[in-house]
Amino acid sequence: MIERTNDLTMVKIPSIAILIPCYNEESTIFKVVSDFKKVLPQAKIYVYDNFSTDDTARKAKEAGASVIFVRKRGKGNVVRKMFSNIDADLYLMTDGDGTYNPNDAIEMLNAINQEQADMVVAVRKENSEKAFPLGHKFGNFLFNKMLSLLFGSEFQDVFSGYRAFSKRFVKTFPITSDGFDIEAELSIHALTLSLQCVEIESAYCERPPNSVSKLNTITDGVKILFSVVRLLQENRPLLFFGSLSILLCGISMIIFDPILRLYLETGLVPRVPTLLVSVTIMIASLLSFVSGLILSSLNKTRIEIKKLHYLSMRFKQDREILIKNISRA
């Protein structure tokens, strides 16, 4: 939307989309939508209902949100649908459980609009001991350290669900995750392309008594762990397959060592099957290393394509601004 002032100056007012993925949040969704409408009355609020079995959709509509249903279960599937469907200049994603502070939304969006950041992450600071269960806190700490070690991540809260995005980030992000590992993929995508990201501290509240978390510490933690391994294989194949190669090489050498010692002492190789196992593992080690080299080269090409797509989105935005500047003259 373009606002015209008396001096014919054209000022572009960014369109804002608030995206809320949720499942069975009837006890909190009305307040969440209402609170964000108060803070950002100009924004359009979309509630993506992952086929809830309660009155989440009805209460979201009553609060003034547009409700879209996503049949395929999993937060990653919902986010994929949101990012592909909604067109806006600025995006804000939050959860429907009422644990995030709507008042921080303006600061987050300003970082996107004024500082040209591509993603802003709200680092959760719990305002009570019950806000962050001990298992969730430990898992979050563990995965933050893991991503820091494997991907050079500087994020303090990789799994925060409260984020703001630029349009170019949303429209150039190829989502592959299906579940709660979507936040890790968002962070790794930003790290892989060296995108500008900002973190701000945000108060994190405990769920209301009648609201239940959908995240299982152990089950979802294992799923997220496998997802991180998959993302490591896809985004840093040389590290993944190189580490596997070193492991296999070590196993092969351990098996081969007594055979070599016996050969040096007697000149005989009595355990031929063991020797064949050692040689086979060593061949697998070499194949793993070569696979890492090949996939690393292919991954560089894939990253270049992603960056070109990202830059093409930026060019289109700059061109629109240029056209507006010409029209002013």
Range list of H helices, the chain: 29-39, 56-62, 75-85, 105-113, 134-151, 167-170, 182-192, 217-235, 237-266, 272-328
Q: Is the pLDDT of residue 179 over 70?
A: yes
Q: pLDDT tens, 120-149?
A: 999 988 776 665 666 667 777 788 888 888
Q: pLDDT band at 273, cuts 50/70/90?
A: confident
The dihedral formed by the CA atoms of 94, 99, 104 and 108, expressed in degrees to the nearest 10: -30
For residues 32 and 20, the answer to whether their CB atoms sit within 8 Å is yes
In whole angstroms, give the CA distance from residue 88 to residue 86.
Answer: 7
Phi, psi at residue 201, to the nearest 5°? Answer: -80, 140
For residues 23 and 54, the answer to whether their CB atoms sit within 8 Å is no
Q: Identify the CA nearest to 157 among candidates 202, 214, 207.
A: 202
Q: Is the pLDDT of residue 294 over 90?
A: yes
Q: Is the pLDDT of residue 75 over 80?
A: yes
Average pLDDT, the chain: 84
Q: Is the pLDDT of residue 276 over 60?
A: yes
The helix (H) or strand (E) run that includes residue 163 is strand 163-166
Q: pLDDT band at 318, cuts 50/70/90?
A: very low
Q: Which residues pair with 51 in a beta bridge?
A: none
pLDDT at residue 45, rounded to an integer:
96
Rg (C-alpha) for the chain, rounded Å, is 25
User: 91-100, 132-141, 173-182, 187-196: which has the minimum mean pLDDT?
Assistant: 132-141
Dig out the tokens for 121 from the structure. 């992450």
- Mean pLDDT throughout 159-176? 91
Q: pLDDT band at 321, cuts 50/70/90?
A: very low
In whole angstroms, give the CA distance from residue 18 to residue 67.
Answer: 12
pLDDT at residue 180, rounded to an integer:
76
pLDDT at residue 308, rounded to an integer:
85
In whole angstroms, give the CA distance from residue 40 to residue 105.
Answer: 8
Dig out the tokens for 300 from the structure. 């560089």
For 45, half-sphere exposure in the C-beta direction (CA atoms, 13 angstrom radius) is 29
Residue type, 115: E
In whole angstroms, give the CA distance from residue 131 to residue 133.
Answer: 6
Q: How many CB atoms lie within 10 A of CB 120?
A: 25
Q: How many CB atoms lie within 10 A of CB 157?
A: 21
Percent of the chain exceeding pLDDT 90 equals 46
Sequence-distant (6+) residues with CB within 8 A of 133 are 213, 217
Q: How far is residue 312 CA from its own chain's centroid?
A: 22
Q: Is the pLDDT of residue 184 over 80?
A: yes
β-pairing, 44-49 vs 66-69, is parallel
Q: Which residues pair with 199 in a beta bridge?
A: 121
In whole angstroms, give the CA distance from residue 321 to residue 171.
Answer: 19
Q: pLDDT tens, 79-109?
A: 999 999 999 999 999 999 888 999 999 999 9
